[in-house]
Structure 1
């Protein structure tokens, strides 16, 4: 059975939700956490993804890649990348296609992995966690991305899912996913006629997004969205870390910025401190041996933190005002402000949001899990095996897109088809008169509205098979353009049409006072000119998606890496099993098994255990799975003989005990039966007759 699942791909950590048990469940990972660190680490033998990667990040900084979401589908030469660089501890290089790759030491050599490959590795791990937890077949995924993701970035997210062996049924905007969850799970509180205006504010680890939605029972429409790409929890962490880095230069004469590991430890402690200050007005800051064997200590108050982040707080109003303006609303029109995202737990940020809206904030949605739950519901709507309540939703198109073609005759050479502020999914059909095969390009209409450095080209299509009718120089060609549910711009179909004379039934209107007799009257037809389909055309797409050959190469590489990781994990398990067996058998030889082995057997087995232990900690420390299994079986072949004698004796004791118990139960039952018979006889014995005595 396939289980629809959704993933909130976070910059710091991700949340998985699955539609099952007539509801939406959050999937816990291998250590029972409800969120999983979003990073991939590389070691001498295998990868460390999620929790295992986080555990060894401090000691493996140069080979651990986090913030994957920020480089997915991005270009190495983007101005934004200059801002992002400081958040990475591993070297980043330009990939062959101009994108961003991580350069790490893996399997004893320097290797490069593209951002798409890294995202695929992480999503594959997420899939594995879900399969182990649900025991279900996982094939479909709904993945959420930031609203500011361009076509190229959304395509990269979809490619990452496919490389991980999943079908991305929907790439959905993060805040939209949360809004869908709100509309579905709060349905009883929603009106049926006039929609409720709700502002959804999401401030996560790295970005800040606002969407204004009109919500009513069974229906949702995103009216506008706005964002700040460089505003999130990590900016607060860096503000705290920078403060202490400056303080420790004067106080301890050390500059932690010079040591990546030391600064990472400061940054990790700063994040914890930020969380403590959300509930307390003051908190200590202590790290042992942070650098050059120096222990550092300090403290911070909530007021001091608010001073450090004033430049951030001064920008809070911008996305809200932009979204309201785009939606044509004011704060007075907003009925509710739903706040999600871990960073919104910061008191100064909550107060700032409250002041901007002039209303109390609402926290009815789970701040960490709302997006994942919405994703799982969206994925379930695409599943043929899961029945969900009907819910219609439309998203907001943040960028205007026009389609271009070569000018012929009286045709225009372009058209704005999907304007900014429009809703999607959306379909438009345009008609062009063409003399032969041609090309169509989709471009962003206003590049200045895009994130800086984004290419204006969205996609290109080759339309083949255009043949004008005999005697004509051109033919009408209809193109079905679509902004699909995932926000991708596509040409869904193209075909030629020609004018033909066809017969059309004439519907007669009965005269006043007369009844129409359909049986007796003869049907009348008239000849009319109509455009009818002549031929379907071939559409060859050139989009920002990976070429099929490259994607297949990445899929094969990922499958090989998964098998390699599995072999390393299995080898480690066999090694641990051998080590455990040595200590277990040695202890039992002097305890449970001492009466079941001769002195010669004990001497021989003890020697073999010592020899195997020496091998395990010397040349066998880094051996193969097969050798560990062989050594284990060599010991077990001798140890199991003694274990068998012990188990046989234990079974004899159990049998004797059971026989004794059964005999005792039989005796007790016989005694009860005898007592019952005696009691029955006593009741049946006749009473003595009374003698009549004459008193006279």
Structure 2
């Protein structure tokens, strides 16, 4: 069984596995350590990951990016409109949630964001299984800490559809902190001052700062702050806008009206930005951008910093917020650890360094730290691995309250309660008590909708408590409900039960609750043990029965998940059939070229002129068919064509193979004869060695070598 951590990024996804007493990042089918987070659709099959990136420019309207940021969102959400600037496929409403409109297998299809994420996770599953040569099941998936309940449920549903067992959804910065802390052997002990680390993660689309406190064997997240629209793609957009204006004036080319040109410029400026991270200036050259027009430009690092000045001005806001929430100052932070590709931007590093007034730390792999932390989290939760004990205390990002209808029998009853406050430890369980004579409903929602991303609905779920009725005395039932914010950051009312107040007797303790120091043991005073302790009657709540709970949340119901999973499996089979057909076609093409090269060379002496001509005609006809009517033929058709060629070429090839076999046998026979002769010669030499003449000679030799070893007569007298 494998243990896999997945950093599902907006731009790229990194996969890490726990093995060999550590964690490794695995490569995909083209040996890259990061896989593009893209899903594309074509006339025959889907393109997932690297293939989607390869055909992105030629298939823009059918390629979907920003998969993670679309999950669990409504099509009316303003954030979705922002994502449309970074997604080339049109985004549409699909049953109340955002999805993409694409052309697949020649038909228009609408896929929800959950389905799209599931498709990509299926690709991740195959990549990991291929590398590990094992089936992949247990995974831990990273999410931004600002993800809501609905977004988290969407990713969990996607994992289910992809056939993955999701052990935990873990916040990005928490995963980074786990990867940092679990390998440290010098963390302070329980009675020592804790080490406080600021983890700053600035990736392609998101900026997060978490203040984390470490002690030996545990970490506690003190605060998390973020900017949801600050990352590498925002720097790229500033550059695209700059060069878009320049090219329009200089070359009369408007990239805003040409999607393919826009993507090519985006690719160019991303490379330019990376070059400027290490150099003072860099060129931008794009050939045949539009209508065979080549464009050229040049940019200095100072010019880049001026273009992104509005972003740089926001760079310290998450840092200030994180410190304020943790109730700490800059001097209380021991280490500032940076991860994420965007933290390579010199001006950004400079702003962060100035804010803390300390040297920044880059001890973690900036691109792979989150995935490695996810793999460690998965290993901790999996029964397969033994991992050093390490406890993770995360926190609640948004306050959550329960509301309910007032009981007609309790006119002054409160109808709402904030159960989980921002900053509370997660996972966490709270027990809610209600006095009721009939079934009732609760609703969970976020207390402050303005804190949520975009215009996300604050509603989390509705929980209907069944089986409640008045007791035999027409009195209230005491109903206990267990509300839990679990490892994934998802809220559920997991259990409901009834309790009754029962009167029981218990001994009365001493006034101070303990035996006095001067008291003797019972064995010293036998009479005392015979005295009965004083008792008192107290009321205690005893559990008497279960209460069924019907939940309605943003999660897909089982029937919908099963339907999506079945559709996903059908698409996987279609993809596999297309891939197999392409392989068979390539094998047929290679077979044709191979025979054509050998018929007048290797096979020349084994075929008559008539057979050669017949085979050449067959090969030529097959090649014409491959590039003509057979361009989109079925797998069976390609196999049939290969069989037709074998029927003609078979006798020729067999003669060649027969001669090779005859030559092989002749060589083998010659080797055997030589071996037999050598063995006979050895036997002959061995026979000569056993003759008397040979023995006498041997003794004479011995005499000449060791004369003192032989005693002569008279020497002992």
TM-score, length-scaled by structure 2: 0.91
Query: After alignment, is 303-312 or 595-604 more displaced?
Result: 595-604
- The residue number in structure 1 matching 2:349 is 350
Q: How far does residue 462 in structure 1 lie from its aligned partner after superposition? A: 0.5
**C-alpha distance in 2, partners of 1:466/1:311?**
58
- The residue number in structure 1 matching 2:35 is 36
Q: Is the 8 A contact 2:204 2:342 kept in 1?
A: yes
Q: How far does residue 638 in structure 1 lie from its aligned partner after superposition? A: 4.1
Q: Deviations over 1:461-488 (max 9, x none)?
A: 0010113321133111111111111101
2:442 pairs with 1:440: yes
- The residue number in structure 1 matching 2:233 is 234
- The residue number in structure 1 matching 2:495 is 493
Q: How far does residue 85 in structure 1 lie from its aligned partner after superposition? A: 2.2
SS in 2 for 1:285: strand
Q: How far does residue 568 in structure 1 lie from its aligned partner after superposition? A: 0.7
Q: Deviations over 1:156-180 (max 9, x none)?
A: 1111111111122111111111111
Of the candidates 575, 594, 605, which is equivalent to residue 595 of structure 1? 605
Q: Residues 223 and 663 from structure 1, CA distance in 2 versus in 1: closer, same or farther, beyond 3 angstroms?
A: same
SS in 2 for 1:185: coil
Q: How far does residue 302 in structure 1 lie from its aligned partner after superposition? A: 1.2
- The residue number in structure 1 matching 2:296 is 297
SS in 1 for 2:604: coil
**C-alpha distance in 2, partners of 1:393/1:657?**
70
**C-alpha distance in 2, partners of 1:213/1:594?**
76
Q: How far does residue 669 in structure 1 lie from its aligned partner after superposition? A: 5.9
Q: Deviations over 1:86-116 (max 9, x none)?
A: 212111112221x211111111121111111
Equivalences, count: 686
Q: Residues 244 and 191 from structure 1, CA distance in 2 versus in 1: closer, same or farther, beyond 3 angstroms?
A: farther
Q: How far does residue 76 in structure 1 lie from its aligned partner after superposition? A: 1.5
2:549 pairs with 1:550: no
Q: Is the 8 A contact 2:441 2:465 kept in 1?
A: yes
2:68 pairs with 1:69: yes
- The residue number in structure 1 matching 2:91 is 92
Alignment of 1:166-565 (within 5 A): 166-188=164-186, 193-408=192-407, 409=410, 410-504=412-506, 513-517=519-523, 521=530, 527-565=537-575
**C-alpha distance in 2, partners of 1:237/1:358?**
28
**C-alpha distance in 2, partners of 1:137/1:495?**
40
Q: Is the 8 A contact 1:26 1:34 kept in 2?
A: yes
**C-alpha distance in 1, partners of 2:700/2:543?**
110
- The residue number in structure 2 matching 1:136 is 134
Query: After alignment, is 669-678 or 75-84 more displaced?
Result: 669-678
Q: Residues 510 and 191 from structure 1, CA distance in 2 versus in 1: closer, same or farther, beyond 3 angstroms?
A: closer
**C-alpha distance in 1, partners of 2:262/2:291?**
13
Q: How far does residue 586 in structure 1 lie from its aligned partner after superposition? A: 2.3
Q: How far does residue 522 in structure 1 lie from its aligned partner after superposition? A: 7.7
**C-alpha distance in 1, partners of 2:189/2:536?**
50
**C-alpha distance in 1, partners of 2:189/2:607?**
80
Q: How far does residue 227 in structure 1 lie from its aligned partner after superposition? A: 0.5
The runs of 5 or more residues in structure 2 that have no matched partner are 705-717
2:583 pairs with 1:573: yes
Q: How far does residue 25 in structure 1 lie from its aligned partner after superposition? A: 1.5
SS in 2 for 1:569: helix
Q: Residues 434 and 590 from structure 1, CA distance in 2 versus in 1: closer, same or farther, beyond 3 angstroms?
A: same
- The residue number in structure 2 matching 1:692 is none
- The residue number in structure 2 matching 1:629 is 639
Q: How far does residue 443 in structure 1 lie from its aligned partner after superposition? A: 1.2
SS in 1 for 2:377: helix
Q: How far does residue 189 in structure 1 lie from its aligned partner after superposition? A: 5.3
Q: Is the 8 A contact 1:411 1:432 kept in 2?
A: no
- The residue number in structure 2 matching 1:125 is 123
**C-alpha distance in 2, partners of 1:549/1:452?**
30
Q: How far does residue 186 in structure 1 lie from its aligned partner after superposition? A: 2.5
Two-structure CA RMSD over aligned residues (Å): 2.2
Query: After alignment, is 341-350 or 451-460 more displaced?
Result: 451-460
Q: Deviations over 1:12-49 (max 9, x none)?
A: 00000111222212111000110000001111111111
SS in 2 for 1:620: helix
Q: Is the 8 A contact 1:510 1:516 kept in 2?
A: no
Q: How far does residue 257 in structure 1 lie from its aligned partner after superposition? A: 1.5
**C-alpha distance in 2, partners of 1:41/1:215?**
43
Q: How far does residue 4 in structure 1 lie from its aligned partner after superposition? A: 1.5
- The residue number in structure 1 matching 2:22 is 23
**C-alpha distance in 2, partners of 1:45/1:515?**
87
**C-alpha distance in 1, partners of 2:207/2:538?**
58
**C-alpha distance in 1, partners of 2:462/2:275?**
51
Query: After alignment, is 112-121 or 442-451 more displaced?
Result: 442-451
**C-alpha distance in 2, partners of 1:169/1:233?**
30
Q: Deviations over 1:506-548 (max 9, x none)?
A: 7798785543159974876654322101110001111111122
Q: Deviations over 1:568-620 (max 9, x none)?
A: 11111111111111111222222222233344433333332222222222211
SS in 2 for 1:604: helix
**C-alpha distance in 2, partners of 1:620/1:500?**
83
Q: Is the 8 A contact 1:187 1:218 kept in 2?
A: no
Q: Is the 8 A contact 2:37 2:66 kept in 1?
A: yes
- The residue number in structure 1 matching 2:659 is 649
Q: How far does residue 301 in structure 1 lie from its aligned partner after superposition? A: 1.3
Q: Deviations over 1:237-274 (max 9, x none)?
A: 11112211111122112212121111110110000111
SS in 1 for 2:668: helix
**C-alpha distance in 1, partners of 2:634/2:319?**
59
Q: Is the 8 A contact 2:187 2:195 kept in 1?
A: no
- The residue number in structure 2 matching 1:154 is 152
Query: After alignment, is 140-149 or 634-643 more displaced?
Result: 634-643
2:630 pairs with 1:620: yes
**C-alpha distance in 1, partners of 2:643/2:697?**
70
Q: Is the 8 A contact 1:198 1:334 kept in 2?
A: yes
**C-alpha distance in 1, partners of 2:350/2:6?**
30
Q: Is the 8 A contact 1:411 1:433 kept in 2?
A: no
Q: Is the 8 A contact 2:187 2:214 kept in 1?
A: no
Q: Residues 669 and 299 from structure 1, CA distance in 2 versus in 1: closer, same or farther, beyond 3 angstroms?
A: farther
The runs of 5 or more residues in structure 1 that have no matched partner are 689-696
TM-score, length-scaled by structure 1: 0.94
**C-alpha distance in 2, partners of 1:218/1:391?**
4
**C-alpha distance in 1, partners of 2:574/2:188?**
51
SS in 2 for 1:32: coil
Q: Is the 8 A contact 2:84 2:90 kept in 1?
A: no
SS in 2 for 1:87: coil
Q: Residues 680 and 28 from structure 1, CA distance in 2 versus in 1: closer, same or farther, beyond 3 angstroms?
A: farther
**C-alpha distance in 1, partners of 2:366/2:189?**
24
SS in 1 for 2:538: strand
**C-alpha distance in 1, partners of 2:507/2:63?**
72
